[in-house]
């Protein structure tokens, strides 16, 4: 559980003191593009773009973008487990990544843009492994699922200008997202 006494929801409201909330961390390429699907999910209280999985403390966007820190661009999702389950969040995650691409996601190339599930508890690990196995066994794909399920590491929030980028810069975000081909590739991978 997280301390929610000062947390803010995606709608800008303060969470009630002593609210029960859980945290999930996902990497799915550009963190700007992972915020919208989670923000739209009922039961998600807040999302924070950031960096995890690397060796450098308090990395900057420039350092992570250079690819030498080992960090992933990631999203920390705070959610109400009474309204949305971790398994449901995994479904949102899978539908927003290309699980066949080990070299990044969509137009964003490099290790910092790889997809991954970061588990914080044994239950999250079991659910994440199970969801990955279900996709592998579905025979939907001819290639292997390369998205790893790995232990959560320290999560560092990204700079303020990255937070809610799609809301703060809607035109730039739409142009970036369209040019990156994310929606077209997701449609090809997962269907409508």
Span 45-80, pLDDT tens digits: 999 999 999 999 999 999 999 999 999 999 999 999
Has residue 35 been placed in a domain?
yes
Is 13 inside a domain boundary? no
* Cα–Cα distance, 159 to 38 (Å, whole number): 19
CATH of the domain at 112: 3.30.1060.10
DSSP state at residue 67: T
Rounded mean pLDDT of 152-178? Answer: 95
Name the domain count of the chain. Answer: 1
The Cβ of residue 142 has, within 10 Å, a number of other Cβ atoms equal to 6
Does residue 17 belong to any structural domain of this protein?
A: no
Tell me whether residue 40 is in a domain. Answer: yes
Q: Which of 30, 33, 107, 180 is catalytic?
A: 30
Whether 30 is catalytic is yes
- CA-nearest of 87, 74, 16 to 45 is 16
Write the pLDDT tens digit of every residue in 123-160.
999 999 999 999 999 989 999 999 999 999 999 999 99
Q: What are phi and psi of 58, to 5 degrees?
A: 50, 55
12 in a domain, yes or no?
A: no
C-alpha 97/C-alpha 55 separation (Å) is 24
H-type alpha helices, 21-158: 31-39, 61-65, 86-94, 122-137
For residue 45, the enclosing domain spans 22-190
């Amino acid at each position: 559980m997280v301390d929610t006494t000062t947390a803010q929801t995606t709608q800008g409201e303060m969470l009630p003191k002593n609210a029960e909330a859980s945290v999930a961390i996902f990497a799915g390429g550009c963190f700007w593009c992972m915020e919208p699907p989670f923000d739209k999910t009922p039961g998600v209280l807040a999302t924070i773009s950031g960096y995890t999985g690397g060796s450098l403390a308090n990395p900057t966007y420039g350092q992570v973008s250079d690819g030498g820190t080992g960090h992933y661009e990631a999203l920390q999702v705070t959610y109400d487990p009474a309204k949305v389950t971790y398994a449901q969040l995994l479904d949102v995650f899978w539908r927003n990544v290309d699980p066949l691409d080990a070299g990044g996601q969509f137009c964003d190339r490099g290790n910092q843009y790889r997809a991954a599930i970061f588990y914080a508890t044994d239950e999250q690990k079991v659910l994440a492994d199970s969801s990955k196995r279900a996709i592998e066994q579905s025979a939907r794909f001819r290639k292997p699922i390369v998205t790893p399920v790995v232990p959560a590491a320290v999560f560092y929030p990204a700079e303020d200008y990255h937070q809610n980028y799609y809301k703060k810069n809607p035109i730039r975000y739409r142009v970036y997202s369209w040019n990156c081909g994310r929606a077209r590739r997701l449609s090809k991978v997962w269907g409508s």
